[in-house]
Amino acid sequence: MGNKKNVALLFGGRSVEHGVSVNSARNIFEYIDKDKFEPICIGLSTDGKWFLKSSVDKDIETGQEITLSTDPARPGFISAGGYIKPDLVFPVLHGTDGEDGSVQGMLTALQIPFVGSGVLGSAVSMNKVIAKQILQANGLPVVPFESFHASDKKLIDFEKASGKFGVPLMVKSASLGSSVGVSKVRTKEEFLAALEDSFRYDDEVIIEKFIPGREIECAILGNEPPKASRPGEIIISKKYDFYNFDAKYVDSEAVEIKVPAELNAETEEKVRSLSLRAFQALRCQDFARVDLFLSDQGIFINEINTIPGFTNSSMYPMMWKERGLSFTDLISDLLRLAEERWIKQNRFNRNFQSSLKF
């Protein structure tokens, strides 16, 4: 029992996906192998304060407020009860200030190993514009799009966009997840309302061609080399116009999930190959979920999620369960991968001896 590793679960955060994060972390806390790991629950409130909790729940501010220790000899957290040193951190933070490289940068500076992609992979994957540009540069198929900054808002024109992409078309915030700030529009009035909604959450938006087809997802696990699950499919109820937030998390009857998806061998292998290539092109690490569209026009990569959901309806653990990997074993594998990667990263020499005088 004394050899158990302390694992800090970070959840909540200043993000529109705060509630999803709590639900994901609750499952990880429940299923983590407590014979091997001692979970330390750290909730981040919606205003950015950090609290130590005995378990994962939505009432984050009922916990004990903690601060960061920036002492390189004692990296970790300080509470009224003393110093808390995690051996590993599992950021279960979806969206802004959690999945975008900010927390990853802090943990890297404190020299605390953590699960998931580092600063680079997290940041470029979170921004849909940068991610699509990198995927295109690597010869990977993405949906036709254009992007606008808030400063260019006056240049956005419905007639031009609909002439270029047709209708319906999609309007999306550039750096959010869980379909927040995403709209499917057909008219100028809907278009203007969608822009207001997307700019409410971000200073950059994407206008994208709507691709009718099947919603396919593929789970990636590992580093050298990463491996891909069999793809799964999300079949959305006809009462939803697209896979929005309520369909994902609120309405239990909104979708039918098929794992594995019914695909012929050639298509399945292409989905898996494209997903692996996207994971590597965006410099992701440890794990990710790749979302794709399968249509008559071909296969398109929609986006990549560097901290996929672990809720009861989340595809990522389902796709690995189909491969025989239980929720508990999946969590253990992720923690092992993080530790192995940390050991390898520390082999680099950070001390350069030069003749520079200072």
Whether residues 239 and 339 fall in one domain: yes
pLDDT top residue among 120 and 71: 120
- Which DSSP state fits 4? P
In this prediction the pTM is: 0.90
Task: Please name the residue ranges forming H helices in the chain.
Answer: 18-31, 102-110, 119-126, 128-137, 158-165, 188-201, 245, 265-281, 315-322, 327-345
CATH code, domain carrying 191: 3.30.1490.20
pLDDT top residue among 64 and 95: 64
Whether residues 225 and 304 fall in one domain: yes
Taking a C-beta distance cutoff of 8 angstroms, is the pair 228, 278 a contact? no
Task: Give strand pairing partners of 287.
Answer: 221
- Give the Å distances, CA to CA, from 188 to 36, 156, 157, 158, 320: 56, 11, 9, 6, 43
Whether residues 273 and 340 fall in one domain: yes
Domain assignment of residue 127, yes or no: no
Domain assignment of residue 253, yes or no: yes
Q: What is the pLDDT of residue 53?
A: 95
Q: How far apart are the first and last CA of the chain?
A: 49
Domain assignment of residue 196, yes or no: yes
Q: What is the pLDDT of residue 354?
A: 65
The residues assigned a catalytic role are: 17, 178, 249, 289, 291, 303, 305, 309
Q: What is the pLDDT of residue 153?
A: 85
Whether residues 292 and 328 fall in one domain: yes
The per-residue pLDDT for range 162-221, each reduced to its tens digit, is 999 999 999 998 876 656 778 889 999 999 998 988 888 888 999 999 999 999 999 999
pLDDT-derived band at 242, boundaries 50, 70, 90 = low
Whether residues 204 and 218 fall in one domain: no
Distance of alpha carbon 313 from the chain centroid: 15
Q: What is the pLDDT of residue 80?
A: 87
Domain assignment of residue 96, yes or no: yes
Domain assignment of residue 266, yes or no: yes
pLDDT-derived band at 226, boundaries 50, 70, 90 = very high
Residue 207, classed as helix, strand or coil, is strand
Q: What are φ and ψ of residue 202, in 5° steps?
A: -155, 160
pLDDT top residue among 216 and 244: 216
Domain assignment of residue 121, yes or no: no
pLDDT surpassing 80 at residue 244 = no
pLDDT surpassing 60 at residue 160 = yes
Domains identified in the chain, total number: 3
The per-residue pLDDT for range 300-346, each reduced to its tens digit, is 999 999 999 998 778 999 999 999 999 999 999 999 999 999 998 87
Name the average pLDDT for the chain. Answer: 90
Q: What is the pLDDT of residue 1?
A: 44
As a whole number of angstroms, the longest Cα–Cα distance in the chain is 70
Whether residues 253 and 236 fall in one domain: yes
What would the two tokens of residue 95 be?
A: 């969206």
- 72-109 burial, b at 16+ Cβ within 10 Å, e below that, comes to eeebbbebeeeebebbbbbbbbbbbebbbbbbbebbee
Q: Which of 7-11, 92-96, 269-273 is the least confident region?
A: 92-96
Whether residues 162 and 47 fall in one domain: no
- Which DSSP state fits 241? S
Q: At what angle do helices 327-345 and 315-322 cross, to 10 degrees?
A: 100
Supply the range of the domain harboring residue 277: 214-345
DSSP string, 104-139: HHHHHHHT--BSS--HHHHHHHHSHHHHHHHHHHTT
Q: What are φ and ψ of residue 146, in 5° steps?
A: -145, 155
Domain assignment of residue 80, yes or no: yes
